[in-house]
Chains A and B, each alone.
Chain A
Amino acid sequence: MNWSRVWTVARTDLKQLIEDRGFWGPMVILGGIFFLVIPTVLLLTITKIGNVDVVHQMSQTLKVLPPGAQAQIRGGTDQGRTAYALAVFLLAPVAIVVPLTISTAVGASTIVGERERGTGEFLAHSPAHEREIYLGKLIASLLPGYATTIAGFGIYSLIVNLLVGPEVGGWFFPTTQWWVLMLWVVPPFLALTLSLVLRLSARVKSTAAAQQAAGLVTLPMIGIAYSQSTGALFGADKAGLWIGIVAWMVAGFALSRGMRAVSRARLLGVADGI
């Protein structure tokens, strides 16, 4: 494995994404909606609308949370406790939906795109091994989604601390569970989903077909990832670690299988079934 070539493939794909305003424009908007707009509106609504029935009812629903999670909730008021629970436990989807959506969009077109543009011919005749091309494309698909998520996570942390912090006695976010979620649980789910998406991208006939098929794969993956992420947040300290370990193992297996999906015949568009 020549890692220099892997990084070359990844860097070149990323360069092309950066040059494509039509791609990163919606990506920034998506990240903004999930990490900035939705949390701000929800948390502002809860912390500023006062002691009304809605907040009271929401605080009552917190009792359905696992005891371990309930014990972590901070705040002396209903607003504070509700806002804290919302920020820490109930907004896990933002950490999942954004990277999976962005990375899937990139990954779905990455191999079939080479074929459609004719650049697959260049790669097929190059010394790069199929594994190097596959990993380069994987990294190029993974990074935009994950980088957006990390950046969004920073913004989200700031908003949560600014809006909820005063209600619960100071800045508190990210919690340990969120660090585990972001650095240990989300990446393998992202890799697992991309391994499936890249396999699809290598096998289908067009970018449009790849996007359609990737959507079918991504939706259940978002569901699984969301449930596991929520479990990691709700569970005891080690829950996130164990979920991450299992996710990494599954992702590793999926990636090793996925590498076989990229062949020179598929880059050229002459493999059987294409």
Chain B
Amino acid sequence: MTSPDASADPGGTPSAPPVVQLSGVGRRFGAVTALDRLDLVVPPHEVTVLLGPNGAGKTTAIRMITGALDPHDGTVRTFGLDPADHGEEVRSRCGVVAAKPALYDRLDGRANLEYAAELYGLGRKAAVATRIRDAAARFGIEHALDQQVGGYSTGMKTRLALARSILHEPDLLLFDEPTSGLDPESSHAVLEMIREMTDDGCTVVMCTHLLLEAEGLADQVVVLEDGTDLVSGTPLELTRRYWPGTVVLVAAEDPASLAAATAIPGVRSSEPGTEPGSVRLHLDHDRRTPDVVLALAAGGARLTRVEPLQPSLEDLYFAVRTKRDVAADGGRQLTSDGINETVGGRQRQVEALTGWRAKDTPAHAGTTNEGSSR
């Protein structure tokens, strides 16, 4: 990757300036507010994942970063430059894959890539042909370069769009749901490629609402909703913030023998596990796990499974959103560790999350002594 400034130097230090910095950015489309005082910092050489539901402002944020749209409020800096004033320079160093592949169906794959190469200033030299071939090969699409794109499958179009995005060797890659329409194998390959790009010194911003694909890939997670950032940080930081304790999945031959688990010191709450007869125990510390196992065994439980659970990104996402919803719902604040101190029971959480009224909430909502974040 070309890296004329410090922010793009491979192997940059943690103190390297951010590649992208959005401060208090607002953008409206008529009466609709797409972004509302959005703050976003994208460190170099890392994968930043923007999570959020449809309409959260993820795509608009990407458009702000390249200068495709100007902010109504706040400031945008990409590579330290204002895209409104240095749009050509900024966009030349960005590779974008939009939610729709944005390809020219009447042209063949090669012509699509040649078009991008010329717009990005690579020209029409022989070296460009090699670069096109290599980019296509990287995504397994080189065999179809001479076919009209209109005849491509959705997955082939996505691959071609991905090949186009790296053609000019950008410093910053912006992917808006890059695996949309891809089969699992291709999705995996794309996510692998994204990781490789950061290893090569590239910085990646990826939007998705597919939490599983961000799992294990994100160096930084930013949860967006209604155009603003609810929370951001590394997955570990966020996990520690929302789950300072430990969650252990426990199963027993007789599920009734687990009923007394909440009385064991260190067990803060219990809820049904995903498997029949299992429970998820929220402990105040991971060192409690052996004590809990011993206590349950001493109480006569014949345990068939004890598995410490690492909260998934999905858990994190819903925890963040639930906290906000509950806070907005009558001021029933959650504490920073995600425990609802004022609402006894899980029903309020479910109601806040799903919009179901309490009387419609499933009765088996769980056994809890303090409530939980999900």
A interface: dominant SS:
helix
Q: A265-B69, A270-B29 are in contact. Are A8 and B111 (CB under 8 A)?
A: no
The residue from B69, B102, B107, B148 contacting A12, defined by CB atoms under 8 A apart: B107
Tell me the residues in window 74-132 of chain B with beta carbons closer than 8 Å to chain A beta carbons: 87-89, 91-92, 94, 96, 98, 100-107, 111, 115-116, 118-121, 123
Bound form: Cα–Cα A236–B7 in Å: 68
A268 close to B63 (CB less than 8 A): yes
Residue of B nearest to A7 (CB): B118
Bound form: Cα–Cα A126–B174 in Å: 13
Bound form: Cα–Cα A118–B180 in Å: 15
Bound form: Cα–Cα A117–B112 in Å: 14
B63 close to A119 (CB less than 8 A): no
Residue A53, interface by CB 8 Å: no
Q: A8-B115, A12-B111 are in contact. Are A20 and B106 (CB under 8 A)?
A: yes
Q: How far is the CB of B296 from chain A (nearest CB, A)?
A: 56
A119 close to B69 (CB less than 8 A): no
Residue A16, interface by CB 8 Å: yes
A4 close to B118 (CB less than 8 A): yes
Residue of A nearest to B96 (CB): A125
A264 close to B103 (CB less than 8 A): no
A5 close to B29 (CB less than 8 A): no
B111 close to A15 (CB less than 8 A): yes
Q: Which residues of B contact A253 (CB under 8 A)?
A: none
Residue of B nearest to A126 (CB): B119
B107 close to A15 (CB less than 8 A): yes
Q: A5-B118, A127-B88, A127-B91 are in contact. Are A12 and B63 (CB under 8 A)?
A: no
Interface bits B139-157 vs A (CB < 8 Å: 1, else 0): 0000000001000000000
Interface bits A98-133 vs B (CB < 8 Å: 1, else 0): 000000000000000000011111101111110000
Q: Which residues of A contact B107 (CB under 8 A)?
A: 12, 15-16, 19
Residue B14, interface by CB 8 Å: no
Residue B30, interface by CB 8 Å: yes
Bound form: Cα–Cα A4–B122 in Å: 11
Q: Which residues of A contact B94 (CB under 8 A)?
A: 125
Q: How far is the CB of A199 from chain B (nearest CB, A)?
A: 21
Residue B6, interface by CB 8 Å: no
Q: A117-B105, A125-B94 are in contact. Are A268 and B69 (CB under 8 A)?
A: yes
Bound form: Cα–Cα A118–B148 in Å: 17
Q: How far is the CB of A67 from chain B (nearest CB, A)?
A: 53
B104 close to A268 (CB less than 8 A): no
The residue from B104, B116, B118 contacting A16, defined by CB atoms under 8 A apart: B104
Residue B66, interface by CB 8 Å: yes
B100 close to A127 (CB less than 8 A): no
Q: A8-B115, A121-B100 are in contact. Are A268 and B68 (CB under 8 A)?
A: yes
Bound form: Cα–Cα A8–B87 in Å: 19
Q: Which residues of B contact A20 (CB under 8 A)?
A: 106
Tell me the residues in window 56-78 of chain B with beta carbons closer than 8 Å to chain A beta carbons: 63, 66-69
Pull 6 A–B residue pairs with CB atoms less than 8 Å apart, ordered by A. Answer: A12-B107, A15-B106, A122-B98, A124-B63, A124-B68, A127-B121
With A118-B101, A126-B91, A128-B119 known, 12 other A-B pairs at CB within 8 A are A5-B119, A15-B107, A15-B111, A20-B106, A118-B102, A120-B102, A121-B68, A122-B102, A125-B94, A125-B96, A127-B119, A268-B68
Q: Could you tell me which B residues sit within 8 Å of A by CB distance?
A: 29-30, 63, 66-69, 87-89, 91-92, 94, 96, 98, 100-107, 111, 115-116, 118-121, 123, 148, 164, 174
Q: Which 3 A-B pairs have the closest CB atoms?
A: A122-B102, A118-B100, A125-B96
Q: Could you tell me which A residues sit within 8 Å of B by CB distance?
A: 4-5, 8-9, 12, 15-16, 19-20, 117-122, 124-129, 264-265, 268, 270, 272
